[in-house]
Structure 1
Amino acid sequence: MYSFYGTWPWYISGFLIGTVMLLLIYFGKTFGMSSNLRTLCSISGAGKFSDFFRFDWKAQRWNLVVVLGAMIGGFIAVHYLSDGSGVNLNPATVAQLNAMNIDAPHGNLLPELFTSSETIFTPKIFGFLLFGGLLVGFGSRYAGGCTSGHAITGMSNLQLPSLIAVIGFFVGGLIAAHFLLPLIF
């Protein structure tokens, strides 16, 4: 069986993302993952409590298929198209994490501190994840979309608001990683 070693080359991932974007543009659709949360809330009846969730969610069913495809594609990529080594971090990043008493993720996307059943419900980590989730949810709504919607769809359509949003995402991430995270840990 063929497998990629390490991460996929940029030219394969970029080509696949570009192909999906061309297909979406051809069919008159826009891509974004955060809008699916609104669709799922609408399906579950949140429209009874808020006008924001009152819309024709059936027109967005195709986007739920995109989420399902992303999950299935991720499963296939991890289990059949990789060597299982996971993500390799830069040694300088590992050293910075160690300086904050955070173990390196050892191939995972997140350190065990944020995902283990022993630590996830400690007040500090639970509060960190809850506050971060609220900021991401509020931020994606305030920015009119998430990182994937702005960075992939908006910037490929040369939309200035998407460029501004993506610059904001990166600046916010850098501030959080280099200033806030060391203060918290």
Structure 2
Amino acid sequence: MESILDLWPWYISGPLIALIMLFLLFIGKSFGVSANLRTFCTMCGAGKKYDFFKFDWKAQSWNLVFLVGTIVGGFLASHYLSPENNAADISQKTVQHLETIGFDSAGKSYLPTELFSNEAFTDGKTLLLLILGGFLVGFGARYAGGCTSGHAISGLSNLQLPSLIAVIGFFIGGLIMVHFIFPFIF
């Protein structure tokens, strides 16, 4: 049975993303997910304590609608538009390597259940790694002036040199994580 995912190849979805970026550029908006955290903190009153959060959050409310759409769209895609075997298509060699370091769900599920199942949240080591990783991602997004989606999609489409540098840094960091840090942790 053919899934809806088979109907959206890169040559359809890529130009659609480009059209959305062109539209945002036309109306004077920039795309990014991490800006939503700042907007949300400002809505909750963080501007009373920190100057960074003192801005007109209502001018960014369109971005919050985008965030809600991302969450709803992710849920719908995961539960209703994905094939029954919701696993990443990875090589058998990679599956075998991941199994040797303790990931028995490799090749069987999209996310490793050893890290993202409900039981994983009761393991202290896994919980600590997730909290530390979340903190580092949040700090990195703020320090880099945006997240991976903001720099890689919006910044590069606007030909911003800082975004190119940030994207190169993201890839270098990802390679270091996968090849050096991840095997050390597991």
Q: Given residue 50 of structure 2, which amino acid in structure 1 is its aligned partner?
A: S
The yes-or-no answer on 1:82 pairing with 2:82 is yes
Q: Residue 40 of structure 1 aligns with which residue? A: 40
Q: Aligned-pair distance for 1:105?
A: 5.8
Cα separation, 1, equivalents of 2:7 and 2:182:
26
Segments of structure 1 that go 5 or more residues without pairing to the other structure are none
Q: Aligned-pair distance for 1:90?
A: 1.3
Q: Residue 160 of structure 1 aligns with which residue? A: 161
- Superposed CA deviations along residues 77-119 of structure 1, whole A, max 9, x for unmatched, are 33443323324231233223112111216232x2011112222
Q: Residue 9 of structure 2 aligns with which residue? A: 9
Cα separation, 2, equivalents of 1:7 and 1:170:
29
Q: Aligned-pair distance for 1:30?
A: 0.2
- Compared with structure 1, are the counterparts of its residues 5 and 39 closer, same or farther at alpha carbon in structure 2 (3 Å cutoff)? closer
Q: Report the secondary structure of 2:23's partner residue.
A: helix
- Superposed CA deviations along residues 9-48 of structure 1, whole A, max 9, x for unmatched, are 1112212211211110111100000000000111011112
- Compared with structure 1, are the counterparts of its residues 5 and 70 closer, same or farther at alpha carbon in structure 2 (3 Å cutoff)? closer
Cα separation, 2, equivalents of 1:166 and 1:180:
20
CA contact under 8 A between 2:90 and 2:107: conserved in structure 1?
Answer: no
- Compared with structure 1, are the counterparts of its residues 8 and 114 closer, same or farther at alpha carbon in structure 2 (3 Å cutoff)? farther
Correspondences of 1:111-130 after superposition (within 5 Å): 111-130=112-131
User: Equivalent pairs: percent with the same residue?
Assistant: 57
Correspondences of 1:83-122 after superposition (within 5 Å): 83-91=83-91, 92-103=93-104, 104=106, 106-108=108-110, 110-122=111-123
Cα separation, 2, equivalents of 1:76 and 1:40:
24
Correspondences of 1:137-148 after superposition (within 5 Å): 137-148=138-149
- Compared with structure 1, are the counterparts of its residues 8 and 23 closer, same or farther at alpha carbon in structure 2 (3 Å cutoff)? same
CA contact under 8 A between 1:3 and 1:82: conserved in structure 2?
Answer: yes
Q: Given residue 98 of structure 1, which amino acid in structure 2 is its aligned partner?
A: E
Q: Residue 173 of structure 2 aligns with which residue? A: 172
Q: Report the secondary structure of 1:118's partner residue.
A: helix
- Superposed CA deviations along residues 121-160 of structure 1, whole A, max 9, x for unmatched, are 3221111111111110110000000000000000011111
* Number of equivalences: 184
Q: Given residue 108 of structure 2, which amino acid in structure 1 is its aligned partner?
A: H
